Structure 1
Amino acid sequence: MKHLFSLMMLLTVTWLSPANAEVVKLVTLQYPPYQYQEEDQVKGMVVDIVNEAFKRLNMDTQIRLNAWPRSLSMVKEGQADAIFTAYKNPEREQFLDYSKTVLMPQEVVLFVSKDSTISFNGDLTSLADYRIGIVRDISYGSAFDEARKNGTFKKLSEATNLEQSVRKFQSGRIDILISNRYTALAMFKQLGLSGQFKSLDREVQSVPSYIAFSKANNLSGLRDKFDNVLQEMMSDGTYNNIVKAYSE
């Protein structure tokens, strides 16, 4: 009887072990600090959140970084099970089952030096005379992009990438840096500049992004399970702890 009990316990452990877990195939794009390739590993803030959620569902993940159109095509055709971090629109909803819970809000904010007196009340015209650092060909949300198109800003300073823009910021050549919040915080940390800048209280715009599952693979049930686990992670502090690890 003792041997039978031991065998049953061994089978139970084997069934629950990651080696026997179902594998979910995920696609996304290179977008640090949310998701990025480092040597042969895919890492990042959202990668850690997604991996932890599927771990709680006893599922392994295979994550592939592609150009965004390629990732969308793969999940549409059922070559991948899910995609993140995806904005929601009617066209994509034709072939994707979106999570009900927002996976990661994409916050566009304004950074100033820590002793700056600049403020922002939501009116972009109030920033017209400041030197604002931007990265060429990057969208900062419909509100800022439209204001830029209309010639609201008189002193935009373009850079080829975020690091170059931050270097300008550090040297005092711009007054305001506009960026995705966590992308900028990760860059400050990478360059040893954490604590030198602050974000203004009012965000420019926040666009929710989600994980979305392939309708071709009939995964609405898995979507619901993922939603439940994601909410659990938000409640027990795991979600916030992961975010803090990449932003402090």
Structure 2
Amino acid sequence: MFYIAENAPLFWALLKGKPMRYSGLILAGLAWFFCRSIAMAAPLELVTLQYPPYQYEENGETKGFVVEIVKEAFRRLHQPINITLLPWTRSIKMIEDGSADAVFTAYKTPEREVFADYSKEILMPQVVSLFVLKGSPIQFDGHLSSLASYRFGVVSKISYGDVFDSAVKNKTITELDETFTGEKNIEKLLAKRFDVLVSNKYGALDILKRHGHLDKVRELSPEVQTIPSYMAFSKKKNLAILRDRFDEVLLAMKKDGTYQRIIASQQNKN
């Protein structure tokens, strides 16, 4: 991908001090290069999951404060994008096989780093919490081993950070009830299909609020973990250079206040 803004200094250096006849040729070349650059900027195919308030679809439009941050970053890069909401398992598979260019908001795991180039800049820090039904006697002391006898509801192929993931891997947590969406996971908690829901805190609260179930569920304290999530680019698409440019723009957005303004604006809407 090429952009005229990056290469304009080269053209102006060539133009400086040249006779008029050469200047005309150089300007014609500049116009050709500009048109070619636009044509070559094919839309980047981004995938993510339905995960309000971060990213979600409403009336056929993809919304959410992470979506707005991503759109602004690629707008600054003059890079058109398409964002498609899919089940998370499919999204990750598409990054692995190269049928999509990048995925967000992805936790970093050793398994995914094999096929994904993660942004170095954090796209969104996320809080992982546990939820139970309002009348449940379950308490949390900060150690997942104290909940080992309970059944946990999770979304398939979702990483919940190294604290929870390690508890599953080392068999501290053995009873898992898997589904494919956060909404379905909460439905199953309300139906008493499992004992403890593990979820992104604000994602779960948003779903509960939208469906009028906030008074039926209780968040356990303390939180399990606060973990960073990233934009992850498919290694099969060789987008490491674009990943680096995305990092530069995202950092600039944080420094100039745009990042914080987008989050505040979206939260006020909710």
Residue from 181, 206, 209 that aligns with 1:186: 206
- 8 Å CA contact retained: 2:44, 2:79: no
Local SS of the residue matching 1:224: helix
Matching residue's letter, 1:80: A
* Structure 1 residue 49, shift from structure 2 partner: 1.8
Aligned to 1:3: none
Deviation by residue 1:6-27 (Cα, 9 ceiling, x = unmatched): xxxxxxxxx8xxx989344233
Aligned to 1:30: 49
CA RMSD of aligned residues (A): 4.4
Q: 1:134 to 1:232 in 2, by over 3 A?
A: same
* Structure 1 residue 99, shift from structure 2 partner: 0.4
Matching residue's letter, 1:48: E
Matched, 1:124 2:144: yes
* Structure 1 residue 181, shift from structure 2 partner: 0.8
* Structure 1 residue 234, shift from structure 2 partner: 2.8
Q: Note the residue ranges of structure 2 that are not aligned, 5 or more in a row.
A: 1-33
Aligned to 1:54: 74
* Structure 1 residue 211, shift from structure 2 partner: 0.9
Matched, 1:148 2:173: yes
Residue from 212, 220, 232 that aligns with 1:212: 232
* Higher strand residue share: 1
Deviation by residue 1:130-187 (Cα, 9 ceiling, x = unmatched): x9884686865325544432x7xxxx99998344367579xxxx99764211211212
Aligned to 2:250: 230
- 8 Å CA contact retained: 1:24, 1:81: no
Deviation by residue 1:221-243 (Cα, 9 ceiling, x = unmatched): 21111112222333344334444
Q: Note the residue ranges of structure 1 that are not aligned, 5 or more in a row.
A: 1-14
Aligned to 1:5: none
* Structure 1 residue 98, shift from structure 2 partner: 1.3
Aligned to 2:118: 98
Aligned to 2:130: 110
Matching residue's letter, 2:45: L
- 8 Å CA contact retained: 1:133, 1:165: no
- 8 Å CA contact retained: 1:46, 1:104: yes
Local SS of the residue matching 1:31: coil
Alignment: residue pair count: 222
Query: Structure 2-normalised TM-score?
Result: 0.59
Question: How far apart, in 1, do the equivalents of 2:111 and 2:153 lie?
Answer: 30
Identity rate of aligned residues, in percent? 44
Local SS of the residue matching 2:80: strand
Question: How far apart, in 2, do the equivalents of 1:175 and 1:214 lie?
Answer: 36
Question: How far apart, in 1, do the equivalents of 2:258 and 2:79 lie?
Answer: 18
Question: How far apart, in 2, do the equivalents of 1:59 and 1:84 lie?
Answer: 16
Local SS of the residue matching 2:228: strand
- 8 Å CA contact retained: 1:21, 1:60: no
Question: How far apart, in 2, do the equivalents of 1:199 and 1:243 lie?
Answer: 23
Q: 1:127 to 1:96 in 2, by over 3 A?
A: closer
Local SS of the residue matching 2:105: strand
Question: How far apart, in 1, do the equivalents of 2:71 and 2:206 lie?
Answer: 20
Q: 1:58 to 1:196 in 2, by over 3 A?
A: farther
- 8 Å CA contact retained: 2:132, 2:189: no
Residue from 239, 244, 247 that aligns with 2:259: 239
Question: How far apart, in 2, do the equivalents of 1:37 and 1:227 lie?
Answer: 26
